[in-house]
Structure 1
Amino acid sequence: ARLCLPELKNEFLRSSLLLHTPISTILGLTNWNFDRRIFGQCASLCDRRRRFGLKQCVVTQHRRLGRIPNMATISAEEEDIIRKRLISQTAKANGFSTLNKLTKRFLSLCASAENGDVTKTEDIYQTLMKELAAYELQVTRLNTIRAANHREQDKYKIQAVELEKALLQVQGEIEELKVTLEKAREERAHKEEYEVLRRLCMEHPARSETRTAIATLEKDIAALENESAQANGVLELRKKQFALLLHAADELQKELEDDTAALDAVVPMET
């Protein structure tokens, strides 16, 4: 059993690394001399992982090393979801996590190897190898799920970019439709104004009828002007004739007066 400890060490280290937890940091090992105090620390860490989730344990380990991982990109809601998934996928019905169970199994192997019970050590070793293989399969499955989730995230990012482009395109179309709507409103207002003017124009007669009436009136005016000119000519003629008549009457009256005066002068002389 002691000859198989290096292989067991590698398997245990690999399973711990698959969980993103440095086993050397957890156990504080330098030469792989395991004791119960070290595995008690490992069990305590596994118990804290089961109760508080992976993030708190990792942050604690990095604080011990003087470096804190950047968790600012993970929201509280996402952190709670991840914690619940980790607990639900790693916890068992009896309340112990798989890693805690492996740790206890490894403690039993070390205790059996120290007692020198080869048969029991081989049995525990085979059982531990099976549990490590099952645990590795579970971690591989989780890594596969994580890779699938990453692919889904990439797909969602691409869809988000496409949706953003579609949104920008729709916003551009909305702006164009707003301009078109404004132009349509202006055209409608102009058409309404034209309709009002058309109704006003329909209240008046047609232009051809108006032109015909104007031409008739112009002819009547011209005829009346001709008649007026003729009447004025006749009136001037009559004025001249009347003036000549008055002049002749004046001349005749003067001649009568002269004749009367001459007769009056002749009659006294005869008497």
Structure 2
Amino acid sequence: MLAKGRKVSGRGEAVAANYAFGPLEDDVIAKAFLQELNTFEIPHLKSKALVDANLREKHNFDELREEINRQIVQAKIDIEMLKKQLQESRSKDGIRRSEIAALDVENTATSRTLELRKKQFALLLHVVDELQNTIEEEQRSLIEEKEQKTAGGSEPMHVD
């Protein structure tokens, strides 16, 4: 055990302090600790950046979904309008039958396209959600590893 004297400011009297290590050893230990801390901090910051980016991306996808839903509503209105036009065309003239067939094809294609887009968007949101869950699990795992290492290395030191 090393005993060192130090001055208490203002009083001028020496006080003995007990150190387990000398100042040089303390610096080495502190630097090693900071270096080890950095090995955990950088991946954590990267993960946090990924999470933030994913949250922004999810927000963008949510906005995109809202826009697609608005387009779907508008497309349904358009479809209903096309149906009415189709009925009017049938009652007016037999010449317009080819136009009616074209509108039916367009209506079917639009409905299929809308259904396809709904499925694609649902799949995309599912993938983003799974990616978010994976990142969160990795972060928890990193935190648990850090806590285990910290718990393992923080046993009290015995000084003789």
Instruction: Give the shorter-chain TM-score range.
Output: 0.3 to 0.5
> Which structure has greater helix proportion?
1
Higher RCO (CA < 8 A, seq sep 6+): 2
TM-score (norm 1): 0.24
Q: Higher strand fraction: Structure 1 or Structure 2? A: 2
TM-score (norm 2): 0.38
